[in-house]
Amino acid sequence: MLRGAYCTVNPLSKLIILISLLFSFLLFSSLVGILVLVPFYGSGVAALLSSPDFTDPSVINALKVLQILNMAGGLLLSALLYLWLCNPPKETFIAFKKPISTAVILLSALLIVLAQPLIGQANELNSMLRLPEWLSFVENWMKSAEKQGELITEAFLSTTSVPGLTVNIFMIAILPAFAEEVLFRGALARLLKDWTKNVHLAVFLSACIFAAIHLQFYGFLPRFLLGAALGYLFFWSGSLWLPIVAHFTNNMLSITIEFLFRKGIIHTNADNFGMDNAAWLIIISILSVTGLLYLIYDATSGKQKVENYKA
């Protein structure tokens, strides 16, 4: 009944609707998560999650439940409801219906694989970030947030069992690929494009927000570059499937590499993968990424799409 009810409101109003839905659904999904966990952890579950013991497997499992509910209920459902309310009825989920060739989908996955040395170099540069002394309190907060994020990631990835790997694939690769792409590309980037009338500005603004919202500021630059690439894949193709597949590939690589490392099969973990500073490898990565982006752009008639989006 409310489908497309707010499709004609101005972009600022749409942004307010999106933010309101996002925070409301995140709060609701967090409360649902706590209620689900109370029978297993007792009434002190909120305190347990606020200061988690990352060495306790039962606590890690509780955090995983909360992560899945927040990703599905907080991000994905809020973004889908926004599209339902704020897109014209005929365009509600049009970004899922656009036909894309298998070859282009495979190219988007290969793009992420070959970009790993470039992403690793961006991560290395980002780690050198130093703020002026008068902003030391900001830097200390950033380091604290980064450390917390690293602890959570380490706890989630610390599995050598097939069931644990399966949960991680769903929680870290499949669900975020759908939820974050629907939110940041399908909803936010399109909204920013309508507002600014500029595809490139919409891509970079949404990529900036995408990188910042993870609250791991020493990984901001690689996430920003990834977000920008995903944004262009979306606008060039008109389909969410390309950024979803690329996003999935990026996260799946980390999960697989870390799992193989912990099993003793390989000697490089996810943090160090692609961190080889060999100039030739970085140059090959840059050239490969540039070439693949052009192939995808050409195959999806990207120029025409961008010009249409500007109209």
Q: Among 214, 188, 191, which Cα is nearest to 71's? A: 214
Q: Among 258, 177, 235, which Cα is nearest to 210's? A: 177
Q: What count of other Cβ atoms lies within 10 Å of the Cβ of residue 56?
A: 12
Q: Cα 66 vs. chain centroid, distance in angstroms?
A: 17
Question: What is the domain range of residue 41?
Answer: 1-92
Q: Do 100 and 12 belong together in one domain?
A: no
Count structural domains, the chain: 2
Report, as an integer, the average pLDDT of 183-212.
95
Q: Do 252 and 123 belong together in one domain?
A: yes
Q: What count of other Cβ atoms lies within 10 Å of the Cβ of residue 75?
A: 23
Rounded to the nearest integer, the mean pLDDT of the chain is 87
Residue 155 tokens read as 């706890």
Report, as an integer, the average pLDDT of 143-157.
79
Q: Using CA atoms, how far apart are residues 233 and 302, in angstroms rounded to an integer?
A: 9
Q: Do 42 and 135 belong together in one domain?
A: no
* Contact between 194 and 11 (Cβ < 8 Å): yes
- CA dist 137 → 21, 134, 220, 221 (Å): 32, 8, 18, 21
* Contact between 104 and 294 (Cβ < 8 Å): no
pLDDT, residue 311, reads 45
pLDDT, residue 309, reads 53
Report, as an integer, the average pLDDT of 120-124.
85
Q: Do 101 and 224 belong together in one domain?
A: yes
Q: Do 227 and 303 belong together in one domain?
A: yes
Q: Do 39 and 77 belong together in one domain?
A: yes
Q: Do 105 and 165 belong together in one domain?
A: yes
Q: Using CA atoms, how far apart are residues 8 and 237, in angstroms rounded to an integer?
A: 24
Domain end point (choices 56, 73, 92): 92
Q: Do 52 and 128 belong together in one domain?
A: no
pLDDT, residue 308, reads 55
Please tell me the pTM assigned to this model: 0.90
Q: Do 56 and 101 belong together in one domain?
A: no
